[in-house]
């Protein structure tokens, strides 16, 4: 293998945040509906859930935060597929020092910007809905769980997008994947509400542990330090495995 | 940096489709591009030009064969190659919600350039592509040609040592195309190397130092525009009105093609006076002009199709 | 007496509908996933409030008919923005109103399968009466007509597919999930009930809930919902026909 000798003017690595933060910010500043939808949709469902089961409202708010974060994966899928299939823009980034992991983070960051207002509003609602003082450690646990879910589902979204061949596949594939994944985990209610078989199946999903952790941290479900530690470890392990699988399936270069 | 920017040996590519038999897009392409050259790939639709370009630009894996860019094999060492290349994809579009200025700047930042350099190069590229008037308009409001110029600006701003341009002037008016040609010539004067595909034969002739004609996944012929024209048996074209009735006579001077009632004959300059004498004696009108690249291309590819 | 406007001409609508249905059926995964939101909501209801499941199932059918409009919006915009194929069709004997109706009917035909699955579930869980069955068909068609017409009109307003997804999801979830479509109208704030009963999906759902359990709505509410649904569906359809003609030639 020849050693690399680059001209001085050629950067060896790309930058994620300066580029994709601008891309994400410009999207929401020029398309206000792109922020309204992420804010409005969780509240529409929250309202519905509040009507049919008012006693679980704080838990449902945490569920909405987790689902909104997880749904970033769906937007990542949409953006990534559109930029590749419709605009051939991914080619510009492949043929550059950016690299696929940076590109994934870039799209994930640009869509996090769109989701951030919704998450902030939901966090404010949660602080009122909980009804008792919540230590900063609980917020830190929730934040950590959201970050893990964001990374995992963004990786899933971009991996799936790399296998799509048509724009028309974006909406149904995204809808199927992320809605089903969201439903398999008990985001909006305690795990114990599910039938036993479903409970067992839900334990294979990282978002189940994210939900259990957050519910426990806010005192909305019984949890001990020990059980929360186990849940955190399981969340991390499953998320790392899931992300690794997604990255390996992510087709950066055409086959 | 090695003297060869690109060296491809026996590159093959077979696409396996979801439905139907596999498609062999490349059946053994070999070529070399020297540093600082401008090389064009010509061919019919589906000949394999874009497939080859995408393999060389690390966008696609070959089925077999090797392509080295500045001494690094693209399949095994893509990360070593990628900082040194940039690509204008076929039918690419800028981000709809960005302006051309933002598009170029964002991409340069994504490639690792610092803010000041990115701003400076953005302004330069916008000016070169004559996008100043629309630089701050949303890309979704631009015409097809303006969007394509934005894509070209995005890539020429990078200053990458090797640029891959897949039909870079498609959708542009003649003035814009010439502007792009001048920019690309300036780039190679500054040391960049360019490999492009094009359907515009005047572009290939005006812009490239060498060209390769690709047909059905293999290189038919390589050389300069002049050597290609010479391959068809002459450098002059004599067009004889109502020449069909004496087709055999005129065909003895060189390769002849009938277009309506006009017979076009490619002749060597040494036989020009001879064929003109025959035409005048037969009271036919004859016009003389240089062989164009388009004629040479049509005859070369046409001959290949006939042979197959 | 000559009319001040030309009557609609649906020449070619039938064959274009068949074409559109075939196109939609090629996207099997889209047809299959069109019920996802409905099933998610039904699961919520099954887990959290099983007693209202019959109401939720009827609401799911209405919501399904309503979201056909979102499919029409996506399809019409995609064909126009990405492929410009609408120009091929409009520069032909196919009239603009047939083009619109063809997309709407084609989408309905293609997505009928999953909707009938919901109907089968409804037959198992809901105590159907002849009145309820007739009302289900009538209100479903009215909601479909309103939603498809709205979807087509909206499709002409966009230049970017990504923007469509944002606006469409707000609109269809706002109309379809927030008002009492999946839950009993009695849970909706009384003061706001008239607003819910003039919105086509919740008007339809309210009528069905009243047919399921007579007395859920007062007589005046029944009249309000029925008239609103009928008038809005027909008016929206008329608007879509006019709009189709107007936008056939871009200004």
Q: At what angle do helices C36-48 and A170-184 cross, to 10 degrees?
A: 10
In a domain, B205, yes or no: yes
My answer on whether B101 and B200 are in the same domain is yes
What are the residue ranges spanned by the domains of chain A? Answer: 17-46+53-249
The pLDDT confidence band at residue C251, using thresholds 50, 70 and 90, is very low
Q: Please, which pLDDT band fits residue B305 given cuts at 50, 70 and 90?
A: low
User: Per mean pLDDT, which range of A157-171, B222-236, C122-136 is the poorest?
Assistant: B222-236
H/E stretch holding B265 reads strand B262-267
SS3 content of chain B, % helix, strand, coil (to 5): 40, 30, 30
pLDDT interval class at A114 (50, 70, 90): confident
Residue A246 confidence class, pLDDT cut points 50, 70, 90 = very high
Residue that is last in its domain, among B197, B228, B259: B228
Please indicate if any CB of chain A lies within 8 Å of the CB of C83: no
Strands B218-223 and B262-267: unpaired
Share of chain C above pLDDT 90, in %: 57
**Is A14 in a helix, a strand, or coil?**
coil
The pLDDT of residue B208 is 93
CATH number, domain with residue B58: 3.40.50.300
What confidence category does residue C85 fall into, taking pLDDT thresholds of 50, 70 and 90?
confident
Q: Tell me what pLDDT residue C182 has.
A: 94
Domain membership of residue B53 as a residue range: 4-228
**Cα separation, C56 vs A55, whole angstroms:** 20
Please indicate, yes or no, whether residues B151 and B273 belong to a single structural domain of this protein.
no
> Last residue of a domain, which of B228, B260, B280?
B228
Please tell me whether residues B173 and B201 are part of one structural domain. yes
Q: What average pLDDT does range B79-105 have in this prediction?
A: 94
User: Are B241 and B223 in a shared domain?
Assistant: no
Calculate mean pLDDT across residues A139-151: 96
B103 shares a domain with B34: yes
Lowest mean pLDDT among A191-200, B47-56, B288-297: B288-297
Q: How confident is the model at residue B73 (pLDDT cuts 50, 70, 90)?
A: very high
**A–C: how many Cβ contacts below 8 A?**
97
Q: Are residues B224 and B268 in the same domain?
A: no
pLDDT score, position A1: 42
B263 plus B156 within the same structural domain: no
In a domain, B125, yes or no: yes
C-beta of residue C204 within 8 angstroms of C-beta of residue C140: yes
pLDDT on residue C3: 59
Contact B58 A16 (CB under 8 A): no
Q: Would you tell me the crossing angle of helices A33-52 and A100-130 to the nearest 10 degrees? A: 40
Terminal CA-CA length for chain A:
23
Per-residue confidence at B3, pLDDT binned at 50, 70, 90?
confident
pLDDT score of C86: 82
How far is it, in rounded angstroms, from Cα B56 to Cα B9?
11
Lowest-pLDDT range, A97-111, B111-125, B205-219, C86-100?
C86-100
- Give the rounded percent of residues in chain C with a pLDDT score beyond 70: 97
Whether chain A has a CB inside 8 Å of the CB on C45: the answer is yes
| Any A CB within 8 A of B171 CB | no
| pTM score | 0.85
Asked whether residue B306 is domain-assigned, the answer is no
Q: What's the alpha-carbon Rg for chain B, to the nearest Å?
A: 22
Residue B295 falls inside a structural domain: no
* pLDDT confidence of residue A2: 47
Interface mutation target, options A32, A96, A165, chain B, most CBs of B under 10 Å = A96
Of A40, A53, A175, the CB nearest to C170: A40
pLDDT at B303: 72
B79 and B128 share one domain = yes
- pLDDT band at B279; cut points 50, 70, 90: very high
Are both B68 and B120 inside the same structural domain? yes
| Percentage of the residues of chain B whose pLDDT score is greater than 70 | 98
Domain boundary assignment for chain C: 13-247
User: Which chain A residues are Cβ-neighbours of B97 within 8 angstroms?
Assistant: 26-27, 30-31
Residue B112 belongs to a domain: yes
Question: Which residue carries 């004067």 as its tokens?
Answer: B189
How close B142 gets to chain C, by Cα (Å)?
12
Give the neighbor-by-neighbor strand order of the sheet with B210-215.
B85-88, B162-166, B193-197, B38-43, B210-215, B218-223
Chain A's closest residue to B63, CA to CA, is A255
Confidence of residue C1 (pLDDT cuts 50, 70, 90): low
- The DSSP 8-state label assigned to residue B140 in this structure reads G
Interface pTM, i.e. ipTM: 0.86
Query: Average pLDDT in the C222-235 region?
Result: 97
Q: Do C167 and A86 touch (CB under 8 A)?
A: no
Quick: pLDDT tens for C12-66: 888 889 988 988 888 888 888 888 889 988 998 998 899 999 999 999 999 999 9
- Within a domain: residue B300? no
For C78, the closest of A48, A51, A167 (CB atoms) is A167
Residues on chain A touching B112 (C-beta within 8 angstroms): 11-15, 97
């Amino acid at each position: 293998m020849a050693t690399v000798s680059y001209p001085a003017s050629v950067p060896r690595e790309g930058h994620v945040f300066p580029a994709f933060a601008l891309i994400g910010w410009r999207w929401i500043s020029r398309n206000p509906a792109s922020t309204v939808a992420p804010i409005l949709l969780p509240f529409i469902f929250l309202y519905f859930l509040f009507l049919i089961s008012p006693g679980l409202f704080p838990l449902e708010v945490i569920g909405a935060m987790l689902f909104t974060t997880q749904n970033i994966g769906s937007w990542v899928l949409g953006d990534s597929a559109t930029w590749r299939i419709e605009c051939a823009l991914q080619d510009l980034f492949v043929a550059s020092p950016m690299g696929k992991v940076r590109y994934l983070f870039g799209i994930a960051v640009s869509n996090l910007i769109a989701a951030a207002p919704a998450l902030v509003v939901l966090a404010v609602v949660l602080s009122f809905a909980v009804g008792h003082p919540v230590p900063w450690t609980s917020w830190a646990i929730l934040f950590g769980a959201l970050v893990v879910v964001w990374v995992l589902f963004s990786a899933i979204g971009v991996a799936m997008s790399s296998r799509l061949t048509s724009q028309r596949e974006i909406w149904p594939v995204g809808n199927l994947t992320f809605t089903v994944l969201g439903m398999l985990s008990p985001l909006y209610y305690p795990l114990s509400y599910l039938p036993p078989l479903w409970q067992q199946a839900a334990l294979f999903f990282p978002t189940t542990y994210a939900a259990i952790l957050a519910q426990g941290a806010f005192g909305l479900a019984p949890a001990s330090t020990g059980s929360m530690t186990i849940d955190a470890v399981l969340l991390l392990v499953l998320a790392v495995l899931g992300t690794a699988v997604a990255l390996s399936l992510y087709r950066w270069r055409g086959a | 940096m090695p003297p060869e920017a690109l060296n491809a040996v026996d590159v093959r590519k077979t696409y396996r489709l979801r439905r139907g038999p596999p498609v062999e897009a490349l059946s053994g392409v070999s070529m070399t591009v020297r540093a600082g050259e401008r090389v064009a790939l010509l061919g019919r639709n589906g000949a394999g030009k874009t497939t080859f370009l995408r393999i060389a630009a690390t966008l696609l894996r070959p089925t077999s064969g090797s392509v080295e860019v500045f001494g690094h094999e693209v399949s095994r060492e893509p990360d070593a190659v990628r900082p040194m290349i940039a690509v204008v994809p076929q039918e690419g579009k800028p981000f709809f919600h960005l302006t051309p200025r933002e598009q170029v700047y964002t991409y340069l930042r994504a490639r690792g350039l610092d803010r000041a350099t990115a701003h400076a190069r953005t302004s330069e590229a916008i000016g070169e592509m004559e996008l100043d008037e629309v630089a701050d308009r949303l890309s979704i409001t631009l015409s097809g040609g303006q969007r394509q110029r934005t894509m070209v600006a995005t890539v020429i701003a990078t200053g990458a040592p090797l640029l891959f341009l897949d039909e870079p002037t498609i959708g542009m008016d003649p003035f814009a195309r010439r502007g792009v040609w001048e920019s690309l010539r300036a780039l190679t004067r500054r040391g960049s190397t360019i490999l492009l595909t094009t359907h515009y034969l005047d572009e290939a002739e005006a812009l490239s130092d060498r060209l390769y004609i690709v047909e059905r996944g293999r290189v038919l012929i390589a050389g300069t525009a002049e050597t290609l024209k010479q391959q068809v048996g002459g450098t002059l074209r004599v067009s004889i009105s109502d020449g069909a009735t004496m087709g055999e006579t005129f065909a003895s001077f060189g390769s002849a093609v009938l277009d309506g009632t006009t017979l076009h004959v490619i002749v060597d300059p040494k036989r020009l006076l001879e064929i003109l004498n025959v035409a005048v004696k037969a009271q036919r009108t004859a016009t003389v002009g240089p062989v164009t690249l388009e004629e040479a291309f049509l005859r070369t590819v046409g001959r290949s199709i006939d042979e197959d | 007496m000559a009319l001040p406007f030309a009557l609609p001409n649906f020449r070619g609508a039938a064959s274009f509908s068949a074409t559109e249905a075939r196109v939609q059926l090629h996207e099997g995964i889209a047809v299959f996933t069109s019920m996802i939101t409905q099933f998610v909501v039904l699961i919520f209801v099954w887990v959290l409030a099983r007693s209202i499941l019959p109401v939720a199932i009827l609401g799911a059918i209405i919501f399904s008919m309503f979201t056909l409009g979102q499919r029409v919006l996506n399809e019409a915009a995609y064909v126009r923005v990405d492929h410009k194929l609408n120009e091929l069709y409009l520069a032909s004997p196919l009239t603009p109103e047939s083009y619109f109706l063809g997309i709407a009917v084609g989408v309905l035909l293609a997505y009928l399968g999953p909707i009938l699955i919901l109907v089968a579930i409804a037959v198992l869980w809901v105590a159907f009466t002849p009145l309820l069955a007739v009302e289900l068909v009538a209100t479903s068609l009215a909601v479909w007509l309103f939603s498809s017409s709205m979807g087509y009109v909206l499709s002409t307003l966009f230049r970017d597919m990504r923007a469509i997804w944002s606006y469409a999801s707000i609109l269809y979830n706002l109309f379809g999930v927030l008002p009492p479509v999946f839950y009993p109208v009695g849970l909706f704030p009384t003061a706001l009930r008239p607003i819910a009963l003039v919105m086509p999906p919740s008007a339809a759902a309210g009528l069905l809930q009243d047919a399921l359990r007579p007395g859920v709505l007062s007589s005046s509410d029944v009249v309000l919902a029925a008239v609103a649904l009928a008038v809005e569906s027909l008016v929206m359809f008329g608007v879509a026909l006019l709009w189709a003609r107007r936008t056939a030639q871009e200004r």
